[in-house]
Structure 1
């Protein structure tokens, strides 16, 4: 978005990509019948070469298969980080793109919903010469979140999916802490429930700070302030949860419907409020 050029190329800086393809990609776009040119390791004539270990190659194959099957992407290599496109396409699709994740090509193609005219160029993925891979478990979670978000038509953001996943893990933490407090510490239920609630909120905060909001990660005193605001936000979320669940149950006494609606209301409140109060943008 910062470029004023009519065409924009994306490639890695670790020298694994074949820079000699750039003129060919540009020529294809200038011809006027293509919107996006992709350098592919998987089309005829392309190869992974020495660029990926056997484990990472297997992971890349799985990621490609998921993208092609779930999002109906026809690219041979949707995981490619080397492509060129018309600048107006960037302007058009930017509002639909995820603010998280690292596979922007897949995001662009999925957001284009089959309207982009694409041409692929084969290339051999070279061995990394500079830098280190950023691939880790957090990136994997981001990718899975992107798949789910695009599969459901961007109805929910990747960040909200991460937040909800952390919240679901908090239920397990809560139950374990509750059981441990009652048996291991000999506390009565009410005290153990209160302690388990704070344990779950603390672990949720830590995971969200590490995973969901890692681009706004809090440290030092800011992390302590963030934890306190997260406690406050989640406390109000409990009230919202119970209030909505009770209101629905009074009009329609179906326990699972009321419980689900209350949990959803609590999750939405916690996400919205913590985004503004706990992990607010600098």
Structure 2
């Protein structure tokens, strides 16, 4: 029998090393030109503290990963997590926070818009007892910088909406710049949705207890390099996050989008049927067959762009996805008809049978397409 492994009382590699105090999580997507300047700025701001930088990259194509790796080979306090088959700012930050053993974690953007100089104050606030310390644009002394007035108004409106789900009063729950105790994050993770960009709001709303929050004002800076990742999806993802928190996650945000796309697809189906039947003059069977095919194509394309944006299929994968989605919907249609007939035979109310069949078909289509068509890599 092998003797049990015994570690030396003072492992030589750890004798003169101070314990890690802070992990700074930096999500990236095509931010190559910001990597070195950000690390230099962090080194200046956090001088005298034991910290590490964890970059979480969502598949950059501009050399960001290579730039980080080149630095990481020379510095043990810089690490890179490459993500494949999944995207999203909130989930990237969470993965970075799960990958460290530091007792305190920070979230900061790679675009240099957050003022890293206040990180020590945020860190000190957590060490002094706060669960979360937030870099805020809206407290006294803070500013949105060069934002246009219309963008400020939109942000302030979204901030007021956030008050519906947060369990503690925060002036800037939309901030992506904060420091938190890692155990507070771990407690909240099982309830977090990971939808969209607003991870602080998700954290505050998902914590099993109200979190003690400190705030440090700062001025939001212009982007230093690269291009903004904000697009039309941001507002939708934000509303879905709020809905997810208001309903307690009873209905997954992705399923809500899937059902909304299905409703739009029904309109496309009926519109195409009317055009082909009454406009073109096709027979009903031919018109309905073409209308169904068009609605399936519409649903697949829109779900691929919107509902499964983080798993978006391209190229040959898009064609394979369309084939599997069509198969899934075909099976769902058979199930829908069967359930409708069974309920109608029992209740003799046509619309009850129709709704029952539609509900079963929708749930099947969502579950099966998530597993088959847009399964995670």
TM-score of the pair, normalised by structure 2: 0.70
Q: Which runs of 5+ in 1 are unaligned?
A: none
CA distance in 2, matches of 1:143, 1:257: 34
CA distance in 2, matches of 1:63, 1:124: 19
- Partner SS for 1:81: coil
Determine which of 128, 139, 156 is the counterpart of 1:43. 139
User: Is the aligned partner of 1:155 residue 2:250?
Assistant: yes
CA distance in 2, matches of 1:247, 1:115: 48
Report if aligned partners of 2:144, 2:220 keep a CA contact under 8 Å in 1: yes
User: Is the aligned partner of 1:259 residue 2:349?
Assistant: no
How far residue 203 of structure 1 moved from its aligned partner, in angstroms, is 0.6
CA distance in 2, matches of 1:175, 1:215: 30
- Partner SS for 1:69: coil
CA distance in 2, matches of 1:260, 1:39: 49
Matches within 5 A, 1:105-254: 105-112=200-207, 115-254=210-349
Tell me the alpha carbon deviations over residues 79-105 of structure 1, each in whole angstroms, 9 at most, x when there is no partner: 111011111122222222224311111
How far residue 136 of structure 1 moved from its aligned partner, in angstroms, is 1.0
Determine the structure 2 residue equivalent to 1:84: 179
Higher helix share: 1
Determine which of 162, 165, 168 is the counterpart of 1:67. 162
CA distance in 2, matches of 1:158, 1:176: 28
Report if aligned partners of 2:168, 2:211 keep a CA contact under 8 Å in 1: no
Q: 1:25 to 1:224 in 2, by over 3 A?
A: same
- Partner SS for 1:119: strand
Determine which of 10, 15, 21 is the counterpart of 2:118. 21
Total equivalences in the alignment:
280
User: Is the aligned partner of 1:6 residue 2:103?
Assistant: yes
TM-score of the pair, normalised by structure 1: 0.92
Tell me the alpha carbon deviations over residues 26-83 of structure 1, each in whole angstroms, 9 at most, x when there is no partner: 1111123x21111111122222121x23332232122212222365663211111101
Matches within 5 A, 1:86-105: 86-105=181-200
Determine the structure 1 residue equivalent to 2:375: 280
Report if aligned partners of 2:166, 2:201 keep a CA contact under 8 Å in 1: no
- Partner SS for 1:8: strand
How far residue 272 of structure 1 moved from its aligned partner, in angstroms, is 0.8
Q: 1:182 to 1:16 in 2, by over 3 A?
A: same
How far residue 141 of structure 1 moved from its aligned partner, in angstroms, is 1.8
Q: 1:196 to 1:71 in 2, by over 3 A?
A: farther
How far residue 127 of structure 1 moved from its aligned partner, in angstroms, is 2.1
CA distance in 1, matches of 2:184, 2:161: 25
Which one scores higher on RCO, CA 8 angstroms, separation ≥ 6?
Answer: 1
How far residue 262 of structure 1 moved from its aligned partner, in angstroms, is 2.2
Larger radius of gyration: 2
- Partner SS for 2:135: strand
